[in-house]
Amino acid sequence: MSLSRHLDAQEIVERCQDHPHRQYTQNLKAIRKAQHSTSSYNRDDDAVGIPKFEIPPDGIPSRAAAQLIRDQLSLDGNPLLNLASFVHTWMPEEAEKLIMENLNKNQVDQDEYPATQVIHNRCVSMLADLWNAPKSKDGTAVGTSTAGSSEAIMLGGLAMKKRWQEKRKAENKDYFHPNIVFGSNAQVALEKFARYWDVEARLVPVNKATKYVMKPEDAIPFIDENTIGVIVIFGSTYTGEFEDVEKMSTLLDELQERTGLDVPIHVDAASGGFVGPFAYPDLKWDFRVPRVVSINTSGHKFGLVYPGLGWVIWRNETCLHKDLVFELHYLGSVEYSYTLNFSKPAAPVIAQLFNFINLGKKGYTDIINKDFRHARVLARALESTYFEVLSNIHRPVGASGFIDKVIGEEHADKPASYAPGLPVVSFRFSEKVRTENPNLQQAWVQALLRARGWIVPNYNAPKGEEETEMLRVVVRETMSEDLTERLIVDILQVTESLLESASSLALQIPLKAASASHGEQEPARPTKENFGDGGEEKGQKGFARQC
């Protein structure tokens, strides 16, 4: 969640009195006990006078409290039409019952809930098997659930940092200036890791020529003896493109032969971890690649679980330094823990096992294939009209690269017959549309689609190509054929209406309309200038969200 600051109700009241839009709400004073209170439409007026930013002195009946909150939440977008997010938004009724039955279980209480711990262990084992973790003399794969991929990335990065530090100490070398290398297309969690754990983030520039992802050969010049590792992104949040894990490993092998530097790889497979194995089983990106020491993923993305679940798996126990692992002595037993928090809900882990045994590999494959099928239809429709499609999962691919040929019918529905990536469609106005309509702003498409219920974000490209804007649709399990067809029609209708009016001065869509933030959200944002200053500001380089 974002940071929020304490709100002074009276200050907001005074500010609202002078707000130009508030003049039309002054007659509500007679109904409300105070302007900083809330009310509902219940006849008993239970909620009248409840303050918004202070705990009320007296409570109200549970029915009225629930209705009050339900009314406010009705202003949220429809999760089904939220095409901005990679986060899963639907599970079967049986899974929801399991979640509700176990909502009060704390996963960390292993002695009280031993069956839950066994389920956790089974999920870790299943993921390690899915990602081809080897068994060796150094041990077997080890892993844990997390609150999401952000925590998982922190754990993976911290493990690489600790291994690098201990190696440098043993060699009697400086261990105070670690750095980590990843593309400028990285989600903000990667930069968070670097800043929070005092690691220099070396961002490899990306651009249209690199398909907006890090090219392995471009990363090599950023690596030196202080590099703790390279993070390779298996599924970019911008276009869904996969970075080449196997090639990165090969180039690092060559680097080690020349310089002696032994640099490991962590794979950020937040979304791709549940796409690669089922859509591209022959693609080597996981533990089949020797330099991969750890992989993270989000169970709540293409793992098809509700929000609140991530996973991180290490190749074997030697990848985790003993100083990072804590022993928990409780009720006569010993367990081992490596997490950033302690208490966490058990329900998401239980829901993950439900999916594993309910869907099996075939079920996951069928769902992923359907996602790609609808994504290809959307991409082709957009590319044949007013848009340039920046993602590539609809382009047939052969031994020599992208080719324009008709794929045989038996292969037409297989994602592996096309360029690899996530079921994501990123697009922008074609050069012809941009040239003929210089005043046309792409953000207007986002705003007008939002008016029809769709949430389709308009982003700036990563650092190095910030001037490029792109709209993005994430095709998830809930994106049916009918919804895909409706989306195509709405995008084209909105675009044609903009083209007809682009030269008219009457068309003035405020860009702020593209954001549906609640009016009370602005006062709750912290004041950036008030944050503590301990020296030179590092400055943020990337702004991409993981979800």
What is the reported pLDDT for 112? 86
Lowest mean pLDDT: which of 44-53, 74-83, 307-316? 44-53
What are the Cα distances from residue 513, in Å, to 200, 215, 499? Answer: 37, 37, 19
The DSSP symbol for 174 reads: -
Over 90: is that where the pLDDT of 408 sits?
no
How large is the angle between the packed helices 149-170 and 188-196, nearest 10 degrees?
40
> In this structure, what DSSP letter does residue 131 have?
T
pLDDT tens-place string over residues 418-435: 999 999 999 999 999 999
Q: Residue 370 — φ and ψ, nearest 5°?
A: -65, -45
pLDDT at 43 over 90: no
Q: Give me the pLDDT at residue 35, please.
A: 44
Q: What's the rounded mean pLDDT across residues 378-392?
A: 98
pLDDT greater than 70 at residue 545: no
The predicted pLDDT at position 11 comes to: 67
The sign of the torsion formed by the CA atoms of 26, 29, 31, 37 equals positive
Range from 289-293, 338-342, 484-488 carrying the lowest mean pLDDT = 338-342
User: How far is it, in rounded angstroms, from Cα 515 to Cα 77?
Assistant: 11
- Kindly report the pTM of this predicted structure: 0.88
Note the pLDDT tens digit of each residue in 449-462. 999 999 999 999 99
DSSP, collapsed to helix, strand or coil, labels residue 246 as helix
Please say if the pLDDT value at position 411 is more than 70: no
310 pLDDT exceeds 60? yes
Give the integer Cα–Cα distance in Å for 242 and 213: 8
pLDDT classification of 219: cutoffs 50, 70, 90 = very high
The whole-number pLDDT of residue 546 equals 45
Confidence of residue 403 (pLDDT cuts 50, 70, 90): very low
Per-residue pLDDT tens for 118-142? 999 999 999 999 999 998 777 899 9
The predicted structure's pLDDT at residue 412? 78
Q: Residue 403 carries which side chain, given as an amino acid letter?
A: I
- Match 């957009």 to its residue by tokens: 382
Range in 91-105, 220-234, 275-289, 492-506 with the lowest mean pLDDT: 492-506
> How high is the pLDDT of residue 335?
82
Average pLDDT value for the chain? 88
pLDDT at 51: 87
Residue 400 confidence (pLDDT): 46
Residue 526, pLDDT score: 75
Residue 241 CA to residue 237 CA, distance in Å, equals 8
SS3 sequence of 109-144: CCCCCHHHHHHHHHHHHHHHHHCCCCCECCECCEEE
The torsion defined by the Cα of 374, 377, 378 and 382, in degrees rounded to 10, comes to 170
Contact present, 285 and 130 (Cβ < 8 Å): no
49-58, 204-213, 472-481: segment of lowest average pLDDT:
49-58
φ, ψ of residue 392 to 5 degrees: the values are: -125, 5
Q: What is the pLDDT of residue 519?
A: 58
Contacts of 392 (CB under 8 A, 6+ apart): 211, 239, 241, 402, 418, 419, 421
Mean pLDDT of 46-68: 88
Residues 113 and 421: their CA atoms lie apart, in Å, by 39
**Is residue 150 a contact partner of residue 310, using CB atoms and an 8 Å limit?**
yes
Q: Residue 107 in 3-state DSSP?
A: coil
pLDDT at 33 over 90: no
For residue range 474-533, list pLDDT tens digits in order.
999 999 999 999 999 999 999 999 999 865 644 455 555 445 555 566 666 777 766 676
Helix axes 93-101, 347-383, angle to 10 degrees: 150
